Structure 1
Amino acid sequence: MIMMNSYEKIIRWPLSFRFWETGREYAKGRIEDGLRQGMWTFWYRSGAKQMEGEYKDGVQVGLWIKWWPNGQVATQGAFKDGWMHGEWNDWFDNGQKAMLSHWDMGRKTGVTTIWDRFGNEVKSQKHRAGREPRNYYPLMSNRDASFALATAQKMGMRNAWTRMVGKKVAAYLEPWQCTVWLMLFLPGYALLKPKMGLIAIPVSLVGAALISIGVVLATAYHDSITRPDIGLGKPKD
C-alpha cells in the first residue's frame, strides 16, 4: 500500500507596510506528495475571491475562473493536462467581452476575436489547425504573474553569482545573504573598534554571522507560508 503525504495548505499574503493586511489568506488547497491536488481557491488582499479551479499533479485541469476585484468575471476556460483546451473567454472589468479564443492542447485553433472595452471589434484572426506553436499559459493570479516576472529578472544575477562562486557555494549561499552579513559587520566593527581594538574583528564577524543566520531562518519560514509557486508542476508533452 502506497502512503501519500497529503495535507491542506494555506499560502498567505507576504509581509506588508499595510500591517493590518499581513497574514491574510492568498490561496488554499490540498498538497499531495509535494504537488497541488484538487480544488484551489485564491483571494485578493481585500478578501475578494480572485481565482478558482482544480489541480492534478501540480498542473491545472478542468474549468478555471478568474474574477476582477469588483466581482466581475475576468477569464473563464478549461485546461486538459495543464494545457489550455477548448473555448476561452475574457472580459473587461465593466463586463464587456474582451476576447474569445479556442485552444487545442496549448495550440490556438479556430478564430480568435478581440474587442475594446466599448464593444467594438478590434481584431479577428483565424488559426490553421496543427500549424500553431504549442505554448504553456497557466492561468495566473496577479501575484503569480508578478512573482514569475521577478523570478525571471533575477535569473541573470543568479547565473552571474553561480559563475563567480561556483555551483556548490551558490546552492547554499545567496547574494542577498552576503549583503546582509556585510551590512551588519561593517557598522558593528566601526562601533566596537574604539573600545575593543583588534578584538572587534572576530566579535563583529561572529555577531554579524549569528544575526544573519536568524534573518535567513526567518526569511525561509516566511517563504514557506507565502511563496505563490508552492506545489506547482509542469504539464507533460
Structure 2
Amino acid sequence: MHGPYMDFHSNGQKQSEGQYSDGARSGLWTFWDANGVKTGETEFQGGNYHGKRVEYFPNGKQRLVEQFANGKRNGLVQEFSEDGKLVRQAQYRDDQQVAAK
C-alpha cells in the first residue's frame, strides 16, 4: 500500500486516517471510536511509532502523551486525569524508564 488511507467502523464512522509509504504506516495517523469521537493521534515512520503519540478521553482532553523513536518510548511520558491534571510523568530511554515523578 502507498498513499492516503481511511478505514471505517461497521456503522460507517471513520476509524482511522493516515498515510502509507511503501506498505508501512507513515506520518500522522488519527483514530476515532465507533461514535466518531477522536481517541488518538500517532506519528509513524516505517510502520513504527516515531514521534508523538496521544490518547484522548471521550471529553477530548489528553489522557496519555508519549514520545517514541523507532518504535521505542524515548523522552517524556505524561498521564493525565479526565479533568486535565497531570497524574504521572516519566522519562524513557530506549523503552526503559529512567526517571519518574
Paired residue for 2:58? 93
Whether 2:14 is the aligned partner of 1:49: answer yes
Paired residue for 1:67? 32
**Matches of 2:8 and 2:55 in 1, distance apart?**
19
Q: Structure 1 runs of 4+ off > 6 angstroms? A: none
Aligned counterpart in structure 2 of residue 114 of structure 1, from 79, 83, 89:
79
The structure number with the bigger radius of gyration is: 1
Q: Which has the higher helix share?
A: 1
Please tell me the root mean square deviation across aligned C-alpha atoms, in Å.
1.7
TM-score (norm 1): 0.38
**Matches of 1:72 and 1:132 in 2, distance apart?**
29
Unaligned runs of 5+ residues in structure 1 are 1-35, 134-237
Matches within 5 A, 1:68-217: 68-128=33-93, 131-132=94-95
**Matches of 1:68 and 1:92 in 2, distance apart?**
11
* Conserved 8 A contact 1:41-1:49: yes
**Matches of 1:101 and 1:93 in 2, distance apart?**
18
The code of the aligned residue for 2:19 comes to E
Q: Which has the higher strand share?
A: 2
**Matches of 2:78 and 2:49 in 1, distance apart?**
17
- Number of residue equivalences: 96
Paired residue for 2:99? none
* Conserved 8 A contact 1:70-1:93: no
**Matches of 1:98 and 1:132 in 2, distance apart?**
19
TM-score (norm 2): 0.82
Could you tell me how far 1:120 is from its partner in structure 2?
Answer: 3.3
Q: Percent identity?
A: 28
Secondary structure of 1:119 counterpart: coil
Could you tell me how far 1:55 is from its partner in structure 2?
Answer: 1.3
Unaligned runs of 5+ residues in structure 2 are 97-101
